[in-house]
Structure formats: C-alpha cells, structure tokens
Amino acid sequence: MNQQTYIFLGPQGSGKGTHAIELQNDLAKLDPGRPVVHFEMGKNLRDIAAQNTYTGELLKEIISRGELVPFNISSSVLSSYLMQNLNGNEHLIIDGFPRSDTQMEVLDATMAFYKRENPTVVHINISDEEGLKRLLLRGRADDTEENIKKRLAWTRAEWERILARLTKNPIYRILEIDGDHSIEEVHRDILAQLKLA
C-alpha cells in the first residue's frame, strides 16, 4: 500500500473524529509496517486551552464561544505537531483542518513541503437537524444550544467554500460521505469509497 494522506472534513457532530480513529485502526491492520500519524486540531487546541497559561486562558474563551481560534495559533499548532511527528514514511490523517481560506493555503503548502502526493479529502456531511441532535447529546462544555446553532450556520457556508476550493485543485481527491447513518454504515461507506474494504 502506497503512503496515504487523509484529510477529514465535516461539520461538528458529523462523526469525523470517530471515523478518523476508525481509519487509523484499519490502516494499522492493513499496513502494519507503516506508522499512522493522526493529527486532531480540536483536541490539540482543547489541550492547550486546558493548560494554566495566558494562551490557554485566551483560547478557552474563544473555544467556549464556538469560534475559530486565530490563524497564527492553528497554523503553528499544526506545523509544530508535524515537525515533531513526521518522519516521511507514515500514513497521515488530519482531522479538523482546514476550516478557512487562510488555513487552506497552509494545507497546500504543507502537502507540497512534505511531498504528500494526492491527499484524499473525506468530507462527511450531515443535516443540521442531525448535527444539533448529536451535539446536544454529547453535552461538551462548549456545546450549548446557542453555540451549536451558531457553529452549524457558519460551517454550512464555510464548508461549501472550502470544498469548492479543494475541488479546483487537482492534487486533492474528494470523497463525499453521507454521515446521517449509523457509525457502522458510515464506516463501511468510507472503506468502500477508499477501496480499503
């Protein structure tokens, strides 16, 4: 199996985090000789926000409002993670990045710099009703109904722009996944579309 790069995109509650972890486990079994590096933007940012630092304090406010953290922080978190964790041989999964035009540029530059050929974008889409239902059930501190609605409205428009831009760049292969089904069904669909099943 050639070296692969997967970029998981989707609105909050789409299950992209779960499916990125599932894919990481599948790859470990299918290609045991090659490590899998899995970067999760939201988790990394929440970890920094939980630290007792000035940066953590400022991040916590932004995350609790359900807003994007500033570009200087997100790009530096991604870059330092990759600097520490890539050795050139691994499969790479990126979850939760890019979420804006400026982040798209960082993604393009990152793929070029690390010579990641033909990254696959796994776009998991869900309806707003399903997203609201799932996020309320999850009950995370930053998941108040008001925050969720704000994020869902924002993401719908943002995703369309980001996907349109990714689609224009021929290096990316885009997979459209319907995320409104059960975890098992969505997982099967992802594996089938990735031709890993």
Respond yes or no on whether the N-terminal peptide bond of residue 98 is cis (omega within 30° of 0). yes
Is residue 163 left, alpha or beta, with left meaning phi > 0 and alpha meaning psi from -120 to 50? alpha
Q: How far is CA 29 from CA 3, 25, 122, 197, in A?
A: 14, 6, 20, 12
Q: Which of 157, 192, 197, 196 shows the shortest CA–CA distance to 176?
A: 192
Q: Please select the residue that binds ligand AMP; options are 22, 26, 31, 67, rule is CB under 6 A.
A: 67
Using CB under 6 A as the binding rule, whether residue 69 contacts ligand AMP is answered as yes
CB 36 within 8 A of CB 95: no
Binding of ligand AMP by 44 (CB under 6 A):
no
Residue number with the smallest Cβ distance to ligand AMP? 42
Determine the size of the site formed for ligand AMP (CB under 6 A).
15
Site mask for ligand AMP (CB under 6 A), range 119-138, x = bound: --------------------
Between 12 and 125, whose beta carbon lies closer to ligand AMP?
12
Q: Which positions lie near ligand AMP, rule CB under 6 A?
A: 12, 41-42, 45, 62-63, 66-69, 74, 96-97, 99, 103
